[in-house]
Amino acid sequence: MKQDKIILTGDRPTGRLHIGHYVGSLRRRVELQNSGLFDKIFIFEADGQALTDNIENPEKVRQNVIEVALDYLACGIDPTKSTIFIQSQIPELCELTFYFMDLVTVSRLQRNPTVKTEIQMRNFETSIPVGFFTYPISQAADITAFKATTVPVGEDQEPMLEQAREIVRRFNYIYGETLVEPNILLPENAACLRLPGTDGKAKMSKSLGNCIYLSDSADEVEKKVKSMYTDPNHIKVSDPGCIEGNTVFTYLDAFSRQEHFERYWPEYANLDELKAHYQRGGLGDMKVKKFLAAIMQEELTPIRERRKEFEKDIASVCEILRKGCEVARETAAQTLSEVRKAMKIDYFADSSFVDEQVKRFQNKEV
Ligand code: TRP
């Protein structure tokens, strides 16, 4: 039987999505959705995972479930082509996590580099919640319950995918071919792998205040671009400038296309020429920032406008999520029935368990 090509990916609903999410994964999801190359596409909000480090903040997660859904729809995730759903509404995911827990050791989890850095970042030290520690297992359940073949995510999710693949291999080895090994799909462009914050810091994060959100107004985008970190030694226009670690150029790597030069800055044929001039000296930061701002507005304006339209009808957005949860649940339930059968815990799915046990006790010497 030909294997279906299935995409699954998602985000924690802990805040509105920003352009790091966009170039890292969201833009790609929309392209893949519209490519027609996939049989099924699942995009979900990992609210259960968000709660693993927001235990005392359920209201934040609740509000952001709608914010993130709006960001999805605004970017072009189309509910007639993709199923959008919420993790906590699929109890089968908890069940699968519970079975997977037997297939992973504590030391294997401790070695997961993403979990390691996250634990440090959150100052959990010795009081790590068990749910947080084990979220890679639950993430493996998210992926495998839908038999996903392709998971488009950022680089930081690589250890999660590796863990999921190991779990699938171990499950199938013990219980027979049941689950599908997922493949990670990373952004092709290095600048998109990890878009820095507007302050040049390695990661865009809400707590650092260095994000450009998909829902930011045109004015906010303009202001944020104009105050972006560049080369601190590029003081006079005539000074030679450095493009490495220069956020404006990293963003141009992530966002600019040939046509943008024709449209906004025909003095340069392409990004390489622009970079060369900056490096030689004689090109001021403000000019480059103006160009970047024009490109960003071109990309973000349609997203912002679509978001405004969806915001006018929140009840419909909720209905999209509700329906998505229903569809997702059916798919996960189907996988779980296969999992229970493989694990020999499908006692009452048909009469075979009863028949077999009756026979076993009939043949017993009394
Ligand atoms: N850990 C992901 C993030 O922080 C969210 C996520 C949860 C996810 N389960 C997933 C992503 C399954 C892809 C597949 O962004």
* Residue 71 to residues 12, 48, 193, Cα–Cα distance (Å): 13, 19, 20
Domains and CATH numbers, the chain: 6-195+314-355 (3.40.50.620), 218-310 (1.10.240.10)
- Contact yes or no for 7/152 (Cβ under 8 A): yes
pLDDT at 205: 82
Give the number of C-alpha atoms closer than 13 A to the C-alpha of residue 63, restricted to the C-beta side: 7
Cα 11 to averaged position of ligand 1 atoms, centre (Å) = 5
Direct distance between the N- and C-terminal alpha carbons of the chain, in angstroms, rounded to an integer: 48
Q: Would the CB of 53 count as within 6 Å of ligand 1?
A: no
Ligand 1, atom 3, lies closest to the CA of: 11
Amino acid at 92: E
Cross-strand partners of 43: 9, 84
pLDDT at 172: 98
Cross-strand partners of 42: 8, 83
Distance CA(76)–CA(99), nearest Å, equals: 36
**Ligand 1 pocket test: which of 49, 53, 68 has the largest number of ligand atoms within 8 Å of its C-beta?**
49
Q: Would the CB of 112 count as within 6 Å of ligand 1?
A: no
Ligand 1, atom 5, lies closest to the CA of: 11
Q: Which of 7-11, 99-103, 104-108, 119-123 has the lowest mean pLDDT?
A: 119-123
pLDDT tens-digit map of 272-314: 999 999 999 999 999 999 999 999 999 999 999 999 999 999 9
Rounded to a whole number of angstroms, the CA Rg of the chain reads 24
3-state secondary structure of 175: helix
Q: Which conformational region is residue 282 in: left (phi greater than 0), alpha (psi within -120 to 50 degrees), or beta? A: left
Q: How confident is the model at residue 200 (pLDDT cuts 50, 70, 90)?
A: very high
**Ligand 1 pocket test: which of 26, 86, 88, 139 has the largest number of ligand atoms within 8 Å of its C-beta?**
139
Amino acid at 181: E
Q: Would the CB of 118 count as within 6 Å of ligand 1?
A: no
Q: Would the CB of 11 count as within 6 Å of ligand 1?
A: yes
pTM of the predicted structure, to 2 decimals: 0.94
pLDDT tens-digit map of 206-215: 888 899 999 9
Q: Which of 8, 147, 57, 329 is nearest to 65 (CA)?
A: 57
Distance CA(321)–CA(147), nearest Å, equals: 21
pLDDT tens-digit map of 242-279: 999 999 999 999 999 999 999 999 999 999 999 999 99
Average pLDDT estimate for 51-58: 91
pLDDT at 125: 67
Helices (H), 267-345: 271-280, 285-311, 314-342
Ligand 1, atom 9, lies closest to the CA of: 139
Ligand 1, atom 2, lies closest to the CA of: 11
Q: Which of 319, 321, 340 is nearest to 329 (CA)?
A: 321
Q: How confident is the model at residue 1 (pLDDT cuts 50, 70, 90)?
A: low
Cα 3 to averaged position of ligand 1 atoms, centre (Å) = 23
Output DSSP code: residue 269.
S
Give the burial string for 322-339 (b: 16+ CB within 10 Å, else e): eebbeebbebbeebbeeb
Q: Would the CB of 20 count as within 6 Å of ligand 1?
A: no
Q: Which of 44, 61, 43 is nearest to 52 (CA)?
A: 61
Q: Would the CB of 65 count as within 6 Å of ligand 1?
A: no
Query: Residue 326 above 70 pLDDT?
Result: yes
User: What are φ and ψ of residue 342, in 5° steps?
Assistant: -60, -35
